[in-house]
Amino acid sequence: MSMGVVIVTGGTFGLGQSITVELARRGHQVVAFGLAQAQVSSTAQGFDSLMAALDGAGCKADVLEADVSSAADVQRVVDHTVGKYGAIDGLVNNAAIGPLGTVLTTDEPTFDRIVDVNLKGTYLMSRAALPHMIRGGGGSIVNIGSGAGWGKPNMAAYSASKGAIVALSAAMAYDHFHDHVRVNVAIPGGGGIVSGMSVGRMGGDLTAFKSRQAPGTAAGRPATGRDLANAVAFLLSDDAAAISGTVIDVGCFAHQGGPVPPTH
């Protein structure tokens, strides 16, 4: 799928924006969508930064406003994509919200919204895109996970939703094995990766976020959106034609209980 048609959910800001721009730069036809207004616990808003980033990279993408938790919105995105490009080869389920809280401090509407966006959104988008992938002879779905999916403090609902993504991805990989649709998870890690969500959790203070003692990665620096995007691009590509049902951790082994303590 060297020049495939790819939908990126939550593809307008933060890590999703990095994925959109990198895939477009590599020659994919990208349809990115998100919400224009800021969501709970995130600094993501508007599409101007995506347009500027695409322009700076000398590439283009289709940018739509849609809510991944709405079946009607999701269908509209799929209809636009198939109507314009005739196929869907890849899907990156990146849209997520991550309000902090324990079970006791997370109210029911917040819990429901986290599950609706992070888990149900992935289900709705996959359900709408899969028939087109299967009809086209196969495809690749990359679900963006989190180290919180193995449990992290003060992230009860978010952890639950991201743990579910790992299980859902493995189940989908089995279900669509013979359809030649590969399903994998990419996890941004490193403790210092800048995203609308991670900075939003610190009240939008980028300086404070960057001044924390983040362990970074084996590269000797915090992971970036480009690092994640490179892994996603690989999983979408024919180079990963035999890879399904796996997790690529782009950062510092979050699934092993990281982060790695800083050296002194």
Element (H, E) at 185: strand 181-188
Place of tokens 């809280």: 101
Smallest CA-to-CA distance from 221 within 256, 190, 197 is with: 190
Task: Look up 158 and say whether it is catalytic.
Answer: yes
Q: How far apart are CA 98 and CA 121, in angstroms?
A: 14
Question: Is the separation of the CB atoms in 245 and 170 below 8 Å?
Answer: yes
Q: How far apart are CA 169 and CA 143, in angstroms?
A: 7
**Dist. CA 183–CA 36, nearest whole Å:** 28
- Among 85, 123, 158, 174, the active-site one is 158
- Asked if residues 10 and 34 have their Cβ atoms less than 8 Å apart, the reply is yes
Of the candidates 192, 190, 248, 194, the residue with the CA atom closest to the CA atom of residue 218? 190
CB atoms near residue 60 (< 10 Å): 12
Does the bond joining 109 to the residue before it have cis omega, within 30 degrees of 0? no
For the chain, the residue count is 264
Listed in sequence order, the residues at least 6 apart from 103 whose beta carbon sits closer than 8 Å to its beta carbon are 156, 157
Could you list the active site residues?
A: 158
